[in-house]
Structure 1
Amino acid sequence: MDRQKDALYYTGLLKMKKASPEELVADAFKKIDEENPGCNAVVHTRREKALHEARTRDFRNTLFGGVPILIKDLGQDLAGEPATSGSRLLKDYVAPRTSHFVEAVERAGFIVIGQTSTPEFGFKNITDAVIHGTARNPFNRNHSPGGSSGGAAAAVASGMVAIATASDGGGSIRIPASFTGLVGLKPTRGRTPVGPGSYRGWQGASISFALTKTVRDTAMMLDALQTVQAAAPFQTPLFPGSHFQELQSGKRRNFRIAYSLESPVKSVVSEEAKRAVLQTVAALEELGYRVEAKTPDIDGILLMEAYYAMNGAETDAMLRGFAAKLGRPLTADDMELVSWSLYQYGRTISGGDYSLALGLWDQAAATMDRFHENYDLLLQPTTADSAPLIDHSFQSEALKERMRKSDLLSAADRKEIVWSMFEESLGVTPFTQQANLTGQPAISLPVHRTAVGLPLGVQFTAPKGKEEWLLDIASVLEMAGLFT
């Protein structure tokens, strides 16, 4: 991966008249033609429309000046383009309007050239939607690029584009960033609302942003996309000034940093993931930071159960709407087994259950607030291991059979099925969900390669509203040469 050729590198070429937007778009499509057959990252392109925009749009006074970008085919609608969410129920759906988030992407000076793949409704940490096929990791195509923003990660890591939008409801930016050697920031809840009408995004757990090659691209993207929208239920005050300019100033903070190697759900953490963190700890100490082993006092298993309760209830609400539009009940044949099982579990969740689950999120947020009184940042593995093989099944055939018949089972059995169907995959990615539920910003940084050459990231988490702290420490590690 050529990190020097990030989005701002191409912005520089445009400003110096060494390239035109049309040339960059044409080159991006050439790279897609070359790389996508092997990666299966891009599921739709808008070649003629994008080239027309490149020739006719005015990119003066924009931050990125006509750089091509791919957007995620999940909750990031562009009027007149497909919006499938990786689902067979939506395989023919075309977005009637552009989301506020994509409007902001376009105002920043990007040209949307197509869409990247996602698992059905973004429910998995791998990308294998039946309607689009399996996405593959550019570092080793026998492995997954992760999910749910796996297509976006594969597109950037393979060089199709320098930057791609993504979203993160349980790690879906940070997991693929870890697996493909990218910078993956999940902003604070409410920092980059999508809208209109879909602001809540899994009750604030899900947020849209981007996958990048460099910290400076991440900083500039945050400057472009941070906003306060009056209609949004979750709002974060705007960062005064510019994240990008603050990075350029060279001023650095003397952070107090905690680190933990313990899985929040008591699963096994690989020696490679531990090594990635400990190497980062050693580098930080050498740079003069105070680093101490400390794990937040949060019951990660209870918190994940609360997360799945939200997933189930929100899936029930979503699919209930689809059924109403279709004028018929939905069946297991309408969707993939994970979606069907979440749907059946969600149908058993009461309003009281849902409220209690969200209450656990708030308790965890309060615990983390107290934790940050003593530690500015928390360092952990982003993922407990490197990218899984694409042909690995995370559910046994016996479990899949129970999932198919989950509509016939008791509420307790449906809940148990949801835990079981995610249990092994959660063991690979147990660290990311907490920040989604507490609302905190977190970032994955590409600091390690395994013995077989697969990327593996580390994650920093900061207090709410403190993305500038994450960009600060990320820039320090990037400048110190730790990015691989």
Structure 2
Amino acid sequence: MKFEEYRRFDAIGLADLVTRGEVTAAELLELAIARAEAVNPQLNGLIIPLYDMARKQATGPLSGPLAGVPMLVKDLFQEIGGAPSYQGNKARKASDVHAQRDSTLVARWKQGGLVPFGRTNTPEFGAKGITEPDSFGPARNPWNPDHTPGGSSGGSAAMVAAGVVPVAGANDGGGSIRIPAACCGLFGLKPGRGRTPWGPEFTEAMHGIAVNHVLTRSVRDSALLLDIAQGDERGSLFQIAPPKQAYALSAASRPGKLRIGFSTRSPLGTDVDPEAIRAVEKTVALLRDLGHEVIDAEPQMDAKQMCMDWLSVWFGQCAAEVDEVKAITGCGDEGFELDTLAIAAF
């Protein structure tokens, strides 16, 4: 298989080729590695290669609905046992902090057949909508390297958009899946609280606002990955009801006529870019053409208070991260970026 053929398939398509014996997991992995080596010097999305670890997995027995599909994992909370865990932080990098074991999420991905071969760039502690950590430098957008791929899952987005992998790990507290998806033309879903696991190293992040999932090029991949990842885990803070049917089945089903609300106004009363308004209006027209009822709706909320509440949670998370890293590494304030310290001190 050549790269031009490889990049045409999503994860489900590649897994089907492996199942039918048209390509092996090892061959797919080498194609992904070769593509990463070709584009990463410019894009800087892959910061921790784990090629040997992945090659060992790819040549062993694989099972699951995505058996043999290569993937990348965000270097934030999504731990790979025996691999570095830097979280975009220079003190963790200088101390070469490693994860002791796979997180539940990564273990479920592997059980689903996926083959992780590296970790992707993220801003320090995932606290920005861009990906430019001092510890690794900026990730760049494959559509235009002068532009950002967004954040905080920008490294993952850059690698998926560049055709390195069809799926990469991501998480989202304030847009960290959705912003990179928008910047790089990908599909990015933020699941509901508790739908995907955080353990065993973590209980949750941002008091439950942050959620783990992936960035993909196809909706059906994201749905299947949610099926693979979702479910209760031992020690979790709470349990939520399972979905009524598999997400992959829902994604493949016609939704019927929906009633959809939209707004092109900022709840804070700030200006909205005309390009963003045109994009929403184009989407509204498409949804109406598909037969849905689409209405102009204005959510009633105290937007200023909502923002202050969200920022309080975000800043508190940064403060907790700073304290934890100081305890782990013994570093002082020099182990952090200036804006992280400012946020933590707020």
Aligned to 1:95: 99
Pick the aligned partner of 1:81 from 75, 80, 83: 83
| In 2, Cα distance between equivalents of 1:323 and 1:51 | 35
Conservation of the 8 A alpha-carbon contact between 2:205 and 2:317: no
Q: Is the 8 A contact 1:189 1:235 kept in 2?
A: no
Q: Give 1:229 deviation, angstroms.
A: 2.1
Partner SS for 2:208: coil
SS at the partner of 2:71? strand
Letter in 1 for 2:41: P
For residues 466-481 of structure 1, the aligned pairs below 5 Å read none
Matched, 1:319 2:322: yes
Q: Deviations over 1:372-411 (max 9, x none)?
A: xxxxxxxxxxxxxxxxxxxxxxxxxxxxxxxxxxxxxxxx
- Aligned-pair CA distance for 1:182: 0.2
Match of 2:167 among 163, 167, 192: 163
Aligned partner of residue 206 in structure 2, secondary structure = coil
* 2-structure distance, mates of 1:148, 1:307: 16
Give the TM-score normalised by the residue count of structure 1: 0.68
User: 1 CA distance for matches of 2:133 and 2:176?
Assistant: 15
Indicate if the aligned counterparts of 2:92 and 2:325 stay in contact, CA closer than 8 A: no
Which residue does the alignment assign to 1:154?
158
Q: Look up the match of 1:229.
A: 233
1:374 match: none
Look up the match of 1:69.
71
In 1, are the aligned partners of 2:131 and 2:148 still within 8 Å (CA)? Answer: yes
Within 5 Å, give how 1:363-374 maps onto structure 2.
none
2:135 paired residue among 131, 134, 143? 131
Is residue 188–residue 236 contact of structure 1 (8 Å, CA) maintained in 2? no
- Give 2:181's aligned residue: 177
Match of 2:306 in 1: 303
Q: 1:41 maps to which residue?
A: 45
Partner in structure 1 of residue 339 of structure 2: 338
- SS of 2:268 mapped into structure 1: coil
How many residues end up aligned between the 2 structures?
340
Stretch moving more, 227-236 or 153-162: 227-236
Inter-partner Cα distance in structure 2 for 1:326 and 1:37:
29
- What are the within-5 Å matches in structure 2 for residues 19-418 of structure 1? 19-56=23-60, 58-60=61-63, 62-91=64-93, 92-248=96-252, 250-327=253-330, 330-331=332-333, 333-345=334-346
C-alpha displacement at 1:179, in angstroms? 0.4
1:325 Cα offset (Å): 3.9
Deviation for aligned residue 1:327: 4.9
Alpha carbon RMSD of aligned pairs, Å? 1.6
Task: Give how far 1:138 is off.
Answer: 0.5
Q: Report deviation, 1:234.
A: 4.0
Counting aligned pairs with the same residue, the percent is 36
More displaced 10-residue stretch of structure 1: 167-176 or 92-101:
92-101
Q: Contact 2:103 / 2:201 at 8 angstroms: preserved in 1?
A: no
CA distance in structure 1 between the aligned counterparts of 2:276 and 2:44, rounded to whole angstroms: 27
Give runs of aligned pairs for residues 430-469 of structure 1, distance below 5 A: none
Partner AA of 2:106 in structure 1: V
Deviations 1:306-362 (A, max 9, x none): 11111222222232233334456x32x2211221111111xxxxxxxxxxxxxxxxx
Matched residue of 1:19: which SS?
A: coil
The SS at the match of 2:314 is helix
- CA deviations 1:221-263 (Å, max 9, x no partner) are 1111111124212432111332212333x33222111001112
CA radius of gyration, larger in: 1
Superimposed CA distance per residue, residues 251-305 of structure 1 (whole angstroms, 9 cap, x where no aligned partner): 3222111001112333321111111111111111122111110121112222111
TM-score (norm 2): 0.94
Q: Do the aligned partners of 1:3 and 1:213 also contact (CA within 8 Å) in 2? A: no
The gaps in structure 2 that reach 5 residues or longer are: none
Q: Residue by residue, what CA displacement relative to the aligned partner does 1:425-452 show, whole Å, maximum 9, x if unpaired?
A: xxxxxxxxxxxxxxxxxxxxxxxxxxxx
CA distance in 2, matches of 1:324, 1:199: 19
Amino acid in the other structure paired with 1:302: Q
CA distance in 1, matches of 2:183, 2:232: 32
Other structure's SS at 1:164 match: strand
Show structure 1 runs of 5+ residues with no match: 346-484
Give, as a single letter, the amino acid of the residue that structure 1 aligns with 2:116: V
